[in-house]
Amino acid sequence: MQSSLSTLLFAAIYHESGRPSVAAGNTLAHSVGQAKPFTEFADLEPDAQHGRITTAGLILAAVEPYCPAFGSTPRSDAVDWLARIIHNAERTAIENGWVVIKLNPPRPWIPFDELPEVAQAGRRGQATYLLARFGFQEFAGGTVIAAE
E strands in 1-135 = none
38's enclosing H/E stretch is: none
Q: What is the pLDDT of residues 13-62, one digit of tens each?
A: 999 999 999 999 999 888 889 989 999 999 999 999 999 999 999 998 88
Q: What is the pLDDT of residues 91-137, one digit of tens each?
A: 999 999 999 888 888 888 899 999 999 999 999 999 988 888 876 65
127's enclosing H/E stretch is: helix 117-133
Sign of CA pseudo-dihedral 36, 39, 43, 45: positive
φ/ψ of residue 65, rounded to 5: -65, -15
Long-range contacts of 139-142 (CB under 8 A, 24+ apart): 141/76, 142/75, 142/76, 142/77, 142/78, 142/79, 142/80
Closest Cα partner for 18 from 2, 34, 1, 41? 41
